[in-house]
Amino acid sequence: MDTIFYAKFQEISYNNAKETASISSQIQRTRNKIPVKWRSPPKEWLKLNIDAVISESTNRVAIAVVIRDLRGEIRGGFASNILVSSSTMAEAWEMREALLLVKNLERGKVIIELDCLTLIEAIKSGAELWEIDSILHDIQSLQLDLPDYNFTWVPREGNILAHTIAVLKNSNVLFPSWCTTLPPQLNSICRKEMPKVAASVQEPGTPPQ
């Protein structure tokens, strides 16, 4: 029995290491290319982009979540200030909030994109990070209730809208109605990314990227 358990443990460890190596390889390939643009989700899917921003001068932290459909149109989102001690904790906090939002929307077929590789690796591998251990447990618990979703790393270039929302929130210049009445900065980003949407729309049944 001990031999079987050890073999299974080795198999899991190998698979986790292979997946982490795949993510790292993807990042390296991305860095060698022209900056990545936001891509629309497949038909009937929604995409949540999330980001956290910490002010170096005040340590003020803002998180942002923005939801868009295959046409690149904003379907919802939120931004808020939180009290945390590090950028990793901020990213974990926003991931948990994004999952809670997905659960409350009662919508399947959701892709979550973020640019924090450390958090993605911790979630995928089940590793423990003492600083965010309790939040990771919440995330893992929420995952069990959301079978039809996935999350993935995206470079900052593909996460510009969420990043800008967080920056505006941290600067106290983001209006509460930003989802329905886009500020000029956000409207400009959406307009630049929308022309690319039609070319990247995937056929029904195509797995998310």
Largest CA distance in the chain: 63
Contact in structure between 132 and 89 (CB atoms under 8 Å)? yes
Number of domains in the chain: 1
What's 75's domain CATH number? 3.30.420.10
More confident residue, 21 or 155: 155
With vertex at residue 151, the alpha carbon angle to CA 149 and CA 154, rounded to the nearest 5 degrees, is: 145
Q: Can you read off the two tokens belonging to residue 73?
A: 């149109």
Q: Is the pLDDT of residue 6 over 80?
A: no
pTM of the model: 0.75
The predicted pLDDT at position 155 comes to 92
**Is position 117 within any domain?**
yes
20, part of any domain? no
pLDDT over threshold 60, residue 29: no
User: With contact defined as beta carbons under 8 Å apart, do 38 and 49 qualify?
Assistant: yes
- Domain, as residue range, for 50: 34-200
118 band by pLDDT with thresholds 50, 70 and 90:
confident
pLDDT digits (tens, 9 = 90+) for 78-106: 999 998 888 889 999 999 999 999 898 88
Per-residue pLDDT band for 34 (boundaries 50, 70, 90) equals: low
How far apart CA 67 and CA 75 sit, in angstroms, is: 5
Measure the CA–CA gap between 61 and 155, rounded to whole angstroms: 20
* Structural domain contains residue 19: no
Helix (H) or strand (E) holding 147: none
Residue 3 has pLDDT above 60, yes or no: no
Mean pLDDT, rounded, for 172-193 = 92
CA distances (Å), 29 to each of 15, 32, 86, 155, 157, in order?
Answer: 21, 5, 28, 11, 14
Amino acid at the residue 58: T
Q: Which of 8-12, 88-92, 119-123, 149-153 has the lowest mean pLDDT?
A: 8-12
Report how far residue 188's alpha carbon sits from residue 182's, in angstroms, rounded to the nearest whole number.
9
Task: Establish if 2 belongs to a structural domain.
Answer: no
Asked, for residue 105, whether it belongs to a domain, the answer is: yes
Structure token pair of residue 115? 């640019």
Q: What is the pLDDT of residues 38-58, one digit of tens each?
A: 999 998 899 999 999 998 777
